[in-house]
Amino acid sequence: MELAMGLEQSKQNFNFNCSEYREREDLSFIHNALEHSRSSTIEKFELDLTECMDLCQLDYNLKFDFDFLVNRCCSFAVERNVENFVLDLYRPEACPLPESLYTCS
């Protein structure tokens, strides 16, 4: 997981990967990073949940947490006018995306 700042203090890149064995800790880290980000411009936001999504089939609470995280990251990307948003999901059809993601410009 990485949170990189460019030369300008106001530009950031977010790159989050969720590990199969640390999914709860990773989710908490991502939520915390979003909560405390003060950047006005984010060039790239990457969220890779491919390693963890299959666990959601076994644990309904974890599925709810992942769905909430995906929606929160999408909303964050729209609100912050992220220039390049990359979302990797193990089973994209299992996680509906918010309408706001399709209607932003």
Quick one: tokens of 76?
A: 């964050």
Please state the three-class secondary structure of 48-97 as a single string. Answer: ECCCCHHHHHCCHHHHHHHHHHHHHHHHHHHHCCCCEEEEECCCHHHCCC
The model's pTM: 0.76
pLDDT digits (tens, 9 = 90+) for 56-99: 666 667 777 888 888 899 889 988 889 899 988 766 666 777 77
| Partners of 15 in the β-ladder | 2, 46
